[in-house]
Chains A and B, each alone.
Chain A
Amino acid sequence: MAISPRYTREIPQRFRLEAQKFSCGKVSLSRRLICPDGCCHEFENITLKGTGTILTYTVIHIASDDFSKETPYAVAIVETDEGARITTQIVDCELEDIKIGCKVEIIFRKVSEEGDSGIINYGYKALLV
């Protein structure tokens, strides 16, 4: 679920994969004031290339209402080449082909809709390469 202000705020991250690389080396896609380890405030703005590796995954069979028409669908934790970690759907493939260690490409897709009259929520998903 998303509504306009919360949705719009995350556009640089979700649409363009704009991330932060902190001076300690940690990379975060979700926007932060301080690094995840709590040690540094300084960071560099980077844009993730959109390539990564699957660390683990599952196939969702029971989903919340927003996603119930799409089951079964795959979700994975992907580590991007820059070291950021994201949770994302893996699409356009046979579910059996998804394995830990698979390389993926991150692409722009529709994620959900707020019913028939609400806004369309776009974001990132991943393809096996």
Chain B
Amino acid sequence: MRDVAIIGVGLTKFGEHWDKGLRDLIAEASLNAIKDAGVEKLDSFYVASMSSGLYGFQEHLASVTADYTGLTGVPGTRVESACASGGLSVRSAFIEVASGMSDIVMAVGVEKMWDVEDGTFVLSTASDQEYEAYNGVTFPGLYAMMARAYMHKFGLTREELAAVPVKNHKHAVNNPYAQYPFELSLSGVLNSSMVADPLRLMDCSPITDGAAAVILCPLDRAKEFTDKPVKIRGIGSATGPIALHDHKELTKLDAVNTSAKRAYSMAGVNSSDISFVEVHDCFSIAEIIAAEELGFFEHGKGGKAIAEGQGTYGGKVVINPSGGLKAKGHPVGATGVAQVIEATLQLQQRADKRQIQNAKIGMTQNMGGSGGSSVVHILEAV
């Protein structure tokens, strides 16, 4: 397997884009990435979206992407793994380049979520339709049950849980692509409306339109396109049960743990080598449990650690320098790719006011459903 590098990134601003449809978002991000990389043509691409069919009755995204990005004829593949679709598309692009099959491959993720009224139903398709959604549990409801189990077992308080979105909003202030680039206070979280007890509106990532794309090529060709290539040093992917109730332990996310171990093993590093990580904070509790499964904190101790500042600049590891899903936004299919973009910008010293000093090795973790799939990338500045 050859080494693979990221040579270009492109994304749209994340937010409510009433004037942009699905194909507008795909094209904007893709063309931005292609321009950033300075490539003339692509050998292949992967397009990630959780539910373009239910959100806008549009499937066949490979064709749509090629058509509207001026790539007609180029082979394309749709990738779907609920909210991990984006991360999985990067992994898929990596494999095609690493195997030697192709040289220049794009991974673009997109979601157009504001075209429907009942978004709650669409998101529930990431859960077990017959044994979870059928009985009336919502996606936030599943994470709320995890939060309650975690709080019950480890004594995490409601205020400590709220520290996660407060931190992520603070980080997003410096992110020009973020949906909500402003600070959020603790009382702002605690007084927001209840979604699924104990999770309130400000514990939940928003509904967002957006797209994000990266261009990959073999590491030994990267200097043709950029003088700051970022190497994908390790990837790990794992699946978990579709229903939360089938998790062995309700306060753990085994798929995150397994995918992280695979990524660390491939990269030959461990958590102490990672200076920042983009974690899948679809809900506040998800960041805490994922950070523990990634090895940054002991099981049961992550919440308190993050509340004490261990997850921000100056702490043990900067978690979600982009603002995370909560403040940057969560266009489902785009998120995994956007995480890789943030890591790339940090490693290329292009993160401007968000720049982490001496960022050499970074990590991203992208998760589907209530832990039904997880993809971890470890990236390195070379």
Contact A70 B246 (CB under 8 A): no
A107 → chain B closest CB, angstroms: 13
Cβ of A51 under 8 Å from chain B? no
Known: A64-B121, A66-B121, A86-B245. A58 touches B134 (CB 8 A): no
Contact B131 A87 (CB under 8 A): yes
- Select B135's contact among A1, A56, A75, A100, beta carbons within 8 Å: A75
B283 → chain A closest CB, angstroms: 11
Cβ of B132 under 8 Å from chain A? yes
Bound: A6/B284 CA distance, A: 34
Bound: A58/B142 CA distance, A: 8
Query: Which chain A residues in 44-99 approach chain B with CB under 8 Å?
Result: 55-67, 70, 72-73, 75-77, 85-89
Give chain B residues whose Cβ lies under 8 Å from the Cβ of A72: 194, 197
- Select A89's contact among B124, B136, B250, beta carbons within 8 Å: B136
Contact A56 B250 (CB under 8 A): yes
Closest A-chain residue to B150, C-beta based? Answer: A56
Contact A56 B136 (CB under 8 A): no
Contact A64 B145 (CB under 8 A): no
Bound: A61/B136 CA distance, A: 11
Contact A64 B124 (CB under 8 A): yes
B152 → chain A closest CB, angstroms: 5
Cβ of A40 under 8 Å from chain B? no
Contact A61 B193 (CB under 8 A): yes
Number of residues on chain B facing chain A (CB within 8 A): 36
Contact A2 B135 (CB under 8 A): no
Cβ of A111 under 8 Å from chain B? yes
A122 → chain B closest CB, angstroms: 11
- Select A86's contact among B131, B149, B152, beta carbons within 8 Å: B131
Number of residues on chain A facing chain B (CB within 8 A): 38
Give chain A residues whose Cβ lies under 8 Å from the Cβ of B237: none
Contact B149 A55 (CB under 8 A): yes
- Select A85's contact among B120, B133, B141, B246, beta carbons within 8 Å: B246
Contact A61 B195 (CB under 8 A): yes
Q: Which of A29, A62, A124 has the most CB of B within 10 A?
A: A62
- Select B244's contact among A2, A62, A73, A87, beta carbons within 8 Å: A87
Q: Which of A36, A56, A57, A63 has the most CB of B within 10 A?
A: A56
Give chain B residues whose Cβ lies under 8 Å from the Cβ of A65: 117-118, 120-121
Contact B148 A62 (CB under 8 A): no
Contact A123 B135 (CB under 8 A): yes
Give chain B residues whose Cβ lies under 8 Å from the Cβ of A125: 135
Closest A-chain residue to B198, C-beta based? Answer: A58
B313 → chain A closest CB, angstroms: 33
Cβ of A105 under 8 Å from chain B? no
Closest A-chain residue to B152, C-beta based? Answer: A100
Give chain A residues whose Cβ lies under 8 Å from the Cβ of B196: 58-62
Known: A36-B241, A56-B152, A86-B245. A67 touches B134 (CB 8 A): no
A7 → chain B closest CB, angstroms: 9
Interface string of B117-129 (1 = CB under 8 A from A): 1101100100010
Give chain A residues whose Cβ lies under 8 Å from the Cβ of B135: 75, 87-89, 111, 123-125
Bound: A56/B121 CA distance, A: 22
Contact B144 A2 (CB under 8 A): no
B78 → chain A closest CB, angstroms: 23
B280 → chain A closest CB, angstroms: 20
B330 → chain A closest CB, angstroms: 16
Q: Which of B121, B144, B198, B245 has the most CB of A within 10 A?
A: B245
- Select A70's contact among B136, B243, B244, beta carbons within 8 Å: B136
- Select A64's contact among B120, B244, B250, beta carbons within 8 Å: B120
A residues at B contact (CB < 8 Å): 1-2, 6, 10, 29-30, 36, 55-67, 70, 72-73, 75-77, 85-89, 100, 111-112, 121, 123-125
A selection of 12 A-B contacts at a CB cut-off of 8 Å is A1-B133, A58-B199, A61-B196, A63-B138, A64-B124, A75-B137, A87-B132, A87-B243, A100-B149, A100-B152, A111-B135, A111-B136
B residues at A contact (CB < 8 Å): 117-118, 120-121, 124, 128, 130-138, 140-141, 144-146, 148-149, 152, 193-199, 241, 243-246, 250
- Counting from the closest, the 8 A-B pairs by CB-CB distance are A58-B144, A85-B245, A56-B149, A64-B121, A59-B197, A64-B120, A56-B145, A75-B137
